Structure formats: C-alpha cells, structure tokens
Chain A
Amino acid sequence: MRFPIKKPRSLSFRINTAIWTVCAAMLLVFSLFFYAFENHQRQSQIEQAKVLLSSVYLQKHEELANEIFAGHREAVTYILNEIMSVKGIGSINVFDTKGNLLNSTGVLRYPFIAKDKRRELKDGPQYEEIRGEEHPYIAFSTNIEVIGEHMGYFVAYFDLSDLYRASQMRMLLIMAVFGSMLVVLSIVLHYLLIRLVVQPVWRLRDAMGDVMKGHLGAQMELPLKDEIGEVADAFNTMSLQLQEQHRRLTRSVEARNSYAAQLEETNRKLAQLNADLETIVADRTRELRASYDTLQTEIQERRRTDQEKRALEERLVRSQKMEALGILAGGVAHDLNNVLSGIVSYPELILMDLSPDDPLRSMISTIQRSGQKAAAIVQDLLTLARRGVTSMGVLNLNRDIIDEYLNSPEFQKLTSYHPGIVIETYLDRDLMNIRGSDVHLRKAVMNLISNAAEAQPEGGRIVISTTNRYVDLPVSGYEHVHEGDYIVLCVEDFGSGIASEDLNRIFEPFYTKKVMGRSGTGLGMSVIWGTVQDHNGYINVESREGQGTKFELYFPVTREKADVSPATFSLEKYSGQGETVLVIDDVEEQREIAFTMLTRLGYTVVVMSSGEAALEYLQDHTADILVLDMIMSPGMDGLETYTRIIAIHPGQKAVIASGFAENERVKETQRLGAGAYIRKPYTLEKIAMAIRTEIERVKS
C-alpha cells in the first residue's frame, strides 16, 4: 500500500496561490476603476483650466487691448505678468494684428502666429492640448477684440505638468495604500487558513505517515468538530483495526517463513555443490590449456633461438675464417712487401739514370710494372688482413669514388670487355661524407661493378645507387647492422645470380667460379669484405639464381668536411738542403733504398741497422730527422727506440716507415712527437713529401 507523497507544503502553497490570485484580481479591478476615475478627474481639471484661462483673459482683455493700441509695451508686459501670477499659467504670447509677436512671458515663445490659425481664431477662441517633451500644456488662443476693434492675438499656455504630477502621485498613493491593505489581508488569511486547515491536515498526514512507517495503532489528538475532526476520528479507528490485523498476519507469516527458510537452505546447499563442481572442472581445463600453450611457446622459442644461434654461429665462423685468412695473408704480405721493395724501388732509380733511348729501359719498365702489380696483390692481401687501410680521409662516395671510377681508364677497359652493359646511376645529391680510404673504396666499387658486369655476359643493366640511411632498428640480414647514420652504396645486377650455398662463401679469398686470369687476384670479394670491415661498415647481399644480385654496402657517416686534394708533386719543392737524415731499419735492402733516395733528394744520410745502434750514434751526434722502421727484430721496435731518443734529444723529428698498416704502436709513437707515417714500399715522391713536411713543421 503506497500513498502518493507530494511536497509537504503543497496545501499551503495552493492556499497562498488562491489568496494571491484573488488579491491580484482585486488590485487589477480596483486599478482599472481608479484609473478611469482619475482620467475623468483629470479631464474635469483640464476643463477647469480652460475656464480659468478664458476668464482671466476676459478680465484683462480690455485693458490689454488699450495698452496695445496705445503702444505701451511695458504696460502690456505688466498685464501679462499679472495674468502669469495666476497659478498654472506658464507662458503668454501676444501678437499684433499681423500675427507678429509683440510681448511674451514665460518659457514658450513663438515669433509669429500662422495665417491659418489667425483665420480660425476669427470664429472664436481655441483650446489646444500640447504634449510637450517636458511639460504638457493647454493653449488658449483668441483674438484680442474690444468693441469690434481688433488689436491682435492672445495665446496663453496652462502648464498641466503639476496637474499630471498630482494625478500620478494620487494614483501611486492610492495604489500603495490599497496594495498594502491587500498584503495585510493576505497575511491574515494565510495565518488563519494555516492555523485552522493546513496544520490539522499536516498532523493527520504525520499520523498517517507513522502508520505507513509501521507504527500501527498510532492515534492523533484533534479536538475539532468539523470535517477534519471526523476524518481524524475515522483514522484513529482504522489505525487500531490495522494494528490488530497486522498482529494476526505477522504470526501466520512467521510460521510460513520458517518452513520456507528450511526449504531454501536445502536448495541453497544443493546449488552450492553443483556450482563447486563446475568451478573445479573449469579450473582444471583452464590450467591444462595454459600449460599446453606454454609448452607450444617454449617449443617455438627454442626453435627460433636455435635458428638464431645457428645464424650467429655461421656469421662467427665466417668472421673467424675471414680473420684467419686475413692473418695468413697479412703474414705473407709483410714478407712479400720487403721482398718487393727492391723490385719496385730500384727500377725507378735506374730509370732516372738511364738515357731515354737506352735499350734496357723497356725491360726495366716491365720489371717496375710487374713489381707494382705484385705490390697490388700484396696490398689486397694486407687489406684482407685489415692492416691495409693506412690513410683515412674525409670523402664523398659519389664524387670521390664513383664518379672518379666511372671516368677512369679502368672503367673504359671494363666497358670495352662488356659492350652490352648499361650502367644506371641513382646518386643521392645530398649524400653525406664518410671517413675512409679512397684507394680501398675505389677498389671495392671497381670490384663490385666488375663482378656485376661479369654476372651478365650477354649484357644487361647495372644499377648503382647511393643514399643516406638512418638505421634505427638493427638490420639483421647477411650481417647484423647496428643502429646509426649510414650512407648506403647499392650495386645491383640482373644476371645469373648466386646460388644460396655459394652465398656464404663468396667473400673467402680465392673462392671464385670465374675464369682465372681475367680479373686478377681471386681476392676481389675478400677485398670488398676487408674494406667494409676496415670502415666499420656492413655488407648486405641479396641474390636469386637467374634473377640477379644486389650488394648493399653500409658506411658510417662523418660530419667532417672533405679533404682538400693534395697539390701536385714537385721534386724541387721537396728537395733537402743538406739536412742530416738518420735511417733506422733492420733490413739491408731497405736501408740501401732509403740511402739512395734521400741522398738524391739532397740530404746527408746516415743509416743504422737497429734501434740500439741509432741510440749509441745519437749519444754524440745529432740528426735533423729520423726515418724510423716500426718492426725490427730481434731488438727494440720503433716506438721503444723513439722513446729513448727523445730522452736524449727532446723534440726529435721523425717519420715512420713500415710495411705494416698503421696500428696502436704507430699512433703511440706519433703521440710522442713523430711525424707522418709512410707505408713501405714507398715511392720517391712519398718519402720526399713526408720528410720535407716534417722538417718544415713548426714545433707546436
């Protein structure tokens, strides 16, 4: 059972609404009546004003006419002022017979009276209401006429604003009084109704509310003998009956409830058992599925790890193999370098002494070329040993390597061998600089293009492209490329391709399927490998049999500017002026070559076969500069020798000459003060430049 409980104040609200509605209606009706009355009042006052104006005029008109006629303007003003003393008359204008203003008093002042108006006034005086902006007026206009003599016109203005204001004040006052009476009346009504009707109803409501909340049997004291009182009595009776019924009902419900509770408990337990069982089965199933998934993942993980491990191992093996081959080649190369020195150096000296038409000249030239070729092979081997990169400069791969190569005689020779080949280049114009050895890089490019051409014996396209590339996620292809800024050189052919079983071995020395003898040494790919390694770069190879091969070479970018290309060599410029050069070398042939070259260059040359001998010599001699071999066995090497020499002669100038590439000990020696490093076998040009530059270098 539910009562619709509304807002508790709604009854009083309705009563108030009723009271205020009646009051408002009364106020409205009263206002309308009063307004009509006031309007009538105002009209009659206006009529009175008209009567006043005309009687004032009649009283004064004769006098006024005489003064106008006699031309006594001052007297006219006087009369007007007298008229003005009548309360309410605001302004008076007097015009002559032609309608021009004669005299005026008050605010309103018109210079003439219109002809039409004058004509109208002949028929009698006129009244006119003027609603001015500030003051409303009644204008009284008339002819001034005495005994048939027309003397002019008289216009008087009665200011109605006082009258209107009084009327408004009266309305406001009456409204205020009536309004406040209504307010008082409504408050009294409100009080009585609340007291006599609403409050008993509230008490009834509160008592009902008690019953609703369950306080059955609640009674209310209401000593009223009206309808509300009867309702209260009925309520009291009903409340008691309800209480009794409720008591009986409660008892039977309690009995029923206890049975129901037992039944429910049994059902609940049964349901619980079912639920538990389902939960257990589901849990078990889930666990099984999870362990199966884990197992699958582990299997896949292990498989993948195995693959990675195998790949890594392959790469490691490849690296180790290349390393081992490098060491082998390097060892051979060092010895061969020394052996080759004679063959390379002497022909040059001999040719300088020979006359141009000497029959031996061509033979010695052949020896020189053979020696140079052998030296090139040795260089390849040294590159392989990663001790070959001796001079690293800042260069741009496009300009310094690729363009140069494509314009070189070697490339001309290549195209003449492979007339069907078309070279396409896509070179990044903004390609960044790298730090590297131009000789090695050119050789690598040459080898790549040469191989690409040979892969397409019937002719075809070779695409050469360069680009800047930032590797932010490590690339794992043929090699594992670390993140960083790179330039990438890509050479792609569309020839026979490389079989996948060969792909792993292409960089091994002398692993070739080509016809031996055409392209030389069998070290081409190994040199590429070595060069890339020496430049801290990476190689990626993609090849498909019958479709072609793509080599990508990654070189780390440098922010340095490219070197200025060295000036052309001039022997005169680099000749000595009798400075003392001390040559320290353990190999006899080397000492002889050095002695011959430096003497020719105009130096005073002293040679020593070991570091110990040189130290002893320098105890009581001086030398302007040393030419120091780095590796001398079995005695002190170059670094130790130099260290000791600068103990005797601090700031001793020196150039380093060695068959091996620049290494840590060379760098250490240079840090101590030694100058340029020249690689053996050196040419006249190189040794001359190195010594001259070092001598002229101002000690920092």
Chain B
Amino acid sequence: MAMGNIKGYCRPILMLCLACLFRIGAAAAETTQPVELAAILPQSGKAEAYGRAALQGAQIAVGEINREGGLLNHKLTLVVLDSQSSPIYAKQMAEKAIQRNVVGVMGDLWSTHSLAIAPLLQQAGIPMITPGSTAPEVTRIGDYIFRSCYTDDFQGKLMADFAFRDSGFRTAVVLTNISETYSQILAAYFTEAFIRQGGRVIHTGSYKGSAVDFSDLLTPVVQLVPEVVFVPGYSRDSGLIIKQARSMGIHAVFMGGDAWETAVYDYAGTALENSYFSTHWHPDMPYQPSKAFIHAYQKAFGPGEISSFAPLSYDAVRLFADAIKRSNSLDHAKIRKALAETPGYTGVTGLFRFDANGDPIQKGAGILRFHDGRWQFFKAYEP
C-alpha cells in the first residue's frame, strides 16, 4: 500500500495507540518518573512519510518495552519532536530534547537533518541513534552518535557492483539532489566505485529537491543514451524524474538508494519497470525477528507495505533499551558506553555490533526490482 494512503486514516489510530501506551506504562511503573526517549522525526514537510513510518516502528518498540516492564522500573516515554523536514527545526528540536534532558535521542531520519542535530547532542553528551541517515559523516561527529542503518559507502559500492558486475552496464549517468547531503554522498560513492570497476560516468546532473519539472535535468541524458541512470534521491523526486525520463524516451535502467523506498511507486507508477534500489530491510530477507515485527506492525497499523524505516527505528529503540538494561543506569555516558559495546544484538534489520564510529558492522542489504507492477526482492547482500 502506498504511504500516502496510510496518512489519511493512520493519524487517529496513531493517537489512540499513544494513549493506550501511556496507560499501559502508567500501570507498570506508577510510582517512578518515566524515562523519556526523544524521537526527533519529521512529522510534516517533504520527509513526513519517512518520519511517520519511523515513528510507527519506534512506537511498536516502546509499547513492547513497556509491556515487558519498562526500563529499570521506569516507564519509557517517547517524546515526539517534529523536525518539520528542516535542518533548522531539527536543530531547535535537539535543543528542546537537551533541555528536557532525555535519556537518548532516536532520530533524525535524513542525513541533512541528522547532521544538524548531531553536533548539539554530542556536545550535550546525549546518545543518539539515527535510524535512517546513511551519510558516513553523521556518526563521525562524535562517540555519542550511532546509527541502526548501513552507510552510503557500503550502499554506493553495492549498487556500483550490481550495475557493473551483475548487470554488465558500462556507462552511467548520475543525477544528484543538491539540497541533500545524503544524495550527494551516495552519488560520490557510487561514482567512485563504478569508475574503479571500469565503468564510465558520462554525465552528472543535479537538481533541487521538491522541483516539479526536471526536463532541464533530463534533456542532456536523452542524447547520451546511458545504460544505467543512478538516481540517489528521495522517493518523490526520484519517482517524478523516472516518470518524466520515460516520457522523454530514456530507456536506461534506473537505480537508486535506500531513500527510494517502495513509495517511489506512488510517483513513478509503472514507469519503474526494471528499476532497482538497495534497501535495509524486506520481509523476504532472512532475519528472524522480522515475522514478529510484521505481525506487531500489522496489528497496530493494519495491513500494508512496511517501510524499512519502521523496523530500523524499532531496532534503534530496542538498542537503547538494551544498552540501558546492560548498563543498569540512566546516565548518558554509561548508556553510550553500553551502546558502543553492544555485544551482538539481533534486530529486525540484522545483527548489531558497532564499530568505533558507531556504525553497525556486518549489516546486510537487499536489492529490490520493480517487475510486473510490483517490487520484488531481487537479491540479498551480506557484507
């Protein structure tokens, strides 16, 4: 199901669920102060759909934790802070979170936004796990910053390998969103890897996110006739680009990164035929907790396609809970230390162990292919 469809009727359900969760939490730990975990996620603006999916995953995790007895006899409360798809708002939300002295921050989603909050949280010494920011720079800001997703260097290399080795493409065009750090960084890693393999990037175009008409961007591509067009953008822009490219007579294979999400279909429709993108998670990927998560999700939000950002944020909340339990403390430094020393937590999206940067090592990825009017799991990659 399309994400946009979720929006319409999900909101009241979401509110109801939150109310339920609070009540449950209140029953579990009546006497103590609840532990506040901030969720800085876009709940409006261009990243809204991603933010909502992520919030759903987090809510499922918080619900489960509280049902299991909370954290150190404290109820876990999710403080939702809307970063409004804007780095400035994200920054303000981070300030707010610091002010409330939350135990940790789960967020933000897009790398641009995470980069806006990470320095503040690092400085304040509050641990942060981003469920979706794949840009390597994010976790390099400091030792309090972690992520539950894989990184763009991995993803870029993966897609370059796939394009060159598996698909046999030798010429590529790369189209980048100049407003998004993610897009630029992924494009850079893809380009580097593709060229290293022996391919040629014959053109690099750039566009501004949220644009409506991409003909200026695509006109040179028509004449170049590349074999593959790599579009490391978000679903709206990428979908519209692919749709317009097909109508302009570009028959190349389109490939993208994790930001495409299955939601790219909402914008591109069947123009996506034979397009590929890499994803963090798919029900067909062989991770044990997936089934339980899908069950919980569908129970809470009804049937429909599940964005990979929901299990990613579910895992992020779970990681926090795991670290607090292991450290047996609500002290930020101790939680950070415990996070860094996570021994091998098995999440919905894979096995977690952090490297020195705070990036999960040995996390796999999957490649989806659009075929016969739907996204099909095409291939799994393990590092």
Contact = CB atoms under 8 A, between A and B. Distances in A.
B208 A147 contact: no
Contacts of B178: 72, 74-75, 78
A70 B92 contact: no
B88 A69 contact: yes
B87 A147 contact: no
A491 to B, nearest CB: 131
B91 A70 contact: no
Contact of A75 (B86, B91, B208): B208
Given A69-B87, A72-B179, A78 B208 contact: yes
A565 to B, nearest CB: 125
Contacts of A62: 86
Given A70-B181, A72-B179, A78-B178, A151 B208 contact: no
Contacts of A147: 88-89, 92
B116 A70 contact: yes
Contacts of B89: 147
Nearest to A77: B178
B56 interface: no
A32 B257 CA distance: 69
Contact of A70 (B115, B206, B208): B115
B112 interface: yes
A62 B89 CA distance: 10
A240 interface: no
| Most interface-central of B91, B92, B112 (chain A CB within 10 A) | B112
A66 B87 contact: yes
Contacts of B91: 69, 149
A147 B208 CA distance: 23
A65 interface: yes
Contacts, number: 40
Contacts of B116: 69-70
Interface residues of A, number: 16
A72 B92 CA distance: 19
Interface of A is mostly: helix
A231 B86 CA distance: 98
Nearest to B92: A147
A79 interface: yes
| Most interface-central of B88, B115, B178 (chain A CB within 10 A) | B88
A146 interface: yes
Contacts of B86: 62, 66, 146
Interface string B92-128: 1000000000000000000010011000000000000
Contacts of B180: 72
B207 to A, nearest CB: 8
Interface in B52-101: 86-89, 91-92
A485 interface: no
Interface string B267-307: 00000000000000000000000000000000000000000
Interface string A64-101: 01110110101100110010000000000000000000
Contact of B88 (A74, A78, A151): A151
A198 B208 CA distance: 80
A439 B375 CA distance: 162
A151 B91 CA distance: 13
Interface in A126-149: 146-147, 149
B179 A75 contact: yes
Contacts of B115: 70
Contacts of A151: 88
A67 B208 CA distance: 11
A66 B112 CA distance: 10
Contacts of B88: 65-66, 69, 146-147, 149, 151
Contacts of A75: 178-179, 208
A573 B294 CA distance: 172
Contacts of B112: 70, 72
Contacts of A146: 86, 88
A82 B178 CA distance: 14
A79 B91 CA distance: 22
A72 B88 CA distance: 13
A294 B18 CA distance: 165
Given A62-B86, A74-B206, A75-B208, A67 B92 contact: no
A563 B265 CA distance: 145
B97 to A, nearest CB: 16
A471 to B, nearest CB: 119
A391 B15 CA distance: 168
Interface string B172-201: 000000111100000000000000000000
A146 B92 CA distance: 11
Nearest to A148: B92
B300 to A, nearest CB: 32
Contacts of A69: 87-88, 91, 116
A70 B180 CA distance: 9
B187 to A, nearest CB: 12
Nearest to A79: B208
Contacts of A72: 112, 178-181
B181 to A, nearest CB: 7
B292 to A, nearest CB: 38
B92 A149 contact: yes
Given A75-B178, A75-B208, 20 more contacts: A62-B86, A66-B87, A66-B88, A67-B179, A69-B87, A69-B88, A69-B116, A70-B87, A70-B112, A70-B115, A70-B116, A70-B179, A72-B178, A74-B206, A79-B208, A146-B88, A147-B89, A149-B88, A149-B92, A151-B88
26 contacts: A62-B86, A65-B88, A67-B179, A69-B88, A69-B91, A69-B116, A70-B115, A70-B116, A70-B181, A72-B178, A72-B179, A72-B180, A72-B181, A74-B178, A75-B178, A75-B179, A75-B208, A78-B178, A78-B179, A79-B208, A82-B208, A146-B86, A147-B89, A147-B92, A149-B88, A151-B88
User: 10 tightest A-B contacts by CB?
Assistant: A74-B178, A75-B179, A78-B208, A75-B178, A70-B87, A70-B112, A69-B87, A66-B86, A149-B88, A69-B88
